């Protein structure tokens, strides 16, 4: 393996994927949410940087081409598992996450079966948009966890009646309760909306890969 800077960034992104889950094992919330959010955004940024550098510096390698999609899939799959677990298996997250996970397993199996002919399943521009939508959705949903924790802690300290009065507009908000509530609500709907868009793009690109692979799956007589 050539240890070029693009390849090093790809390996770091691959190692950061399980790190997102590890944050919730060793840190309490909201620190776990903060660390997972920062780690995920930093790792996702390397996906854009390493490709640009590899092309600009003419350092594209076979190992980099192999590791890059694996690192992307590992990041998305592990992060979705974490978010799905902490959402309490909410169907608004569980359903698109299931679609995304199924597609990633299906396409990976398809590529493995095709072997040397897997080069026919080149990554399309739509597939890149799919990956971008997935990563942005996941980052927003991690941010929602941060807002949610601080809102819950502040609401608990204020008490139920005071919290209800502030949210209903019957009392002046001298804290940041309303801001935290709106942040949690907005990040939830934006994150879920982007996740469903990503799931739709996932289905479209998955079908496109399957359609391109069909000629190689026909029985020979």
Q: What is the predicted pLDDT for the residue at 197?
A: 94
CA–CA gap between residue 97 and residue 156 (Å, rounded): 31
Q: What angle do CA 94, 124, 11 make, to 5 degrees?
A: 70
**Are the beta carbons of 5 and 59 closer than 8 angstroms?**
yes
Q: What is the predicted pLDDT for the residue at 97?
A: 93
For the stretch 62-105, pLDDT in tens is 777 778 888 888 889 999 999 998 888 889 999 999 999 998 88
How sure is the predictor about 120, in pLDDT bands with cuts at 50, 70 and 90?
A: low
Question: What's the rounded mean pLDDT across residues 33-45?
Answer: 89
Q: What is the predicted pLDDT for the residue at 50?
A: 78
For the stretch 196-215, pLDDT in tens is 999 999 999 888 888 887 77
How sure is the predictor about 1, in pLDDT bands with cuts at 50, 70 and 90?
A: low
- For residue 3, the surrounding DSSP H or E stretch is none
Domains of the chain: 5-216 (1.20.120)
CA–CA gap between residue 138 and residue 118 (Å, rounded): 29
How sure is the predictor about 121, in pLDDT bands with cuts at 50, 70 and 90?
A: low
């Amino acid at each position: 393996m050539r240890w070029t800077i693009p390849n090093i960034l790809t390996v770091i992104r691959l190692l950061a994927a399980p790190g997102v889950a590890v944050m919730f094992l060793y840190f309490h919330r909201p620190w776990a949410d903060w660390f997972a959010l920062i780690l995920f955004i930093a790792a996702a940024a390397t996906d854009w940087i390493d490709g640009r550098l590899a092309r600009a510096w003419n350092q594209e390698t076979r190992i980099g081409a192999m590791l890059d999609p694996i690192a992307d899939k590992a990041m998305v799959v592990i992060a979705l598992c974490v978010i799905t677990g902490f959402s309490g298996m909410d169907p608004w997250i569980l359903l698109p996450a299931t679609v995304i996970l199924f597609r990633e397993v299906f396409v990976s199996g398809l590529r493995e079966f095709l072997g040397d002919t897997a080069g026919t399943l080149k990554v399309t521009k739509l597939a890149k948009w799919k990956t971008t939508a997935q990563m942005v959705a996941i980052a927003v949903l991690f941010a929602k966890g941060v807002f949610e924790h601080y809102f819950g802690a502040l609401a608990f300290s204020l008490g139920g009646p005071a919290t209800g009065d502030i949210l209903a507009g019957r009392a002046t908000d001298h804290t940041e309760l309303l801001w935290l509530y709106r942040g949690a609500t907005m990040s939830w709907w934006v994150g879920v909306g982007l996740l469903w868009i990503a799931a739709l793009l996932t289905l479209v690109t998955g079908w496109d890969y399957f359609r391109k692979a069909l000629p190689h799956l026909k029985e020979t007589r």
